[in-house]
Amino acid sequence: MPSPLDTPEDGWWSDKINRREAMWLGLTGVWSVIIFGWMSAFTRIGDQNPIGETLRVSADEYQDKMRSYKDAAGERDGALVPPGTDVFIAAFRFTWDGTPVVLEAGTEYDVHLSSYDVQHGFSIRPEHALSKQMNFQVLPGYEWVLPMTFDEPGEYHIICNEYCGNGHRTMHGTIRVVEEL
């Protein structure tokens, strides 16, 4: 019996494919097309992808926006209260500018995110539930406007989940959601 590692006399492609092998190749091809179509449709139709708008903005321009926002914002228990439904948060080593912030439950806010220096990860979750976490990448030179509604009152933790330097582990912020402002 010849070794399966030796090249056949007629070459590899001259032998007919076994009927069962052809059937399995056909099934895997059809299944691959179905999975590809499902993934493509899910990213377009599914509810898992964050919506929002991305704008080009320099760090200096965003710092000016943050200053204007903070000047117009009120204060409650040492936290900012936005003047409207726009909330500005900026990342820089090793803090979240614009936090802590107090928001009203059930109100849709446009959360503006940007970075002054390097790439950061914006990870937000309710205090009591690790499984209800959302993650976004925050890049310098871009402002990401995300519509967010907080249905449940409570405290929401913000951490940086993208290593940004030696003080990365200290990069925390909070959003307090209350019934009424």
Question: Which residues are designated catalytic?
Answer: 92, 94
The CB-side HSE value for 33 (13 A sphere, CA atoms) comes to: 5
Could you tell me the strand order of the sheet in which 74-76 lies?
74-76, 79-81, 101-104, 172-178, 154-160, 120-126, 134-138
> Among 94, 106, 95, 98, which Cα is nearest to 165's?
94
User: Cα–Cα distances in Å, from 44 out to 13, 47, 53, 149?
Assistant: 41, 9, 16, 21
> Among 142, 124, 146, 143, which Cα is nearest to 133's?
124
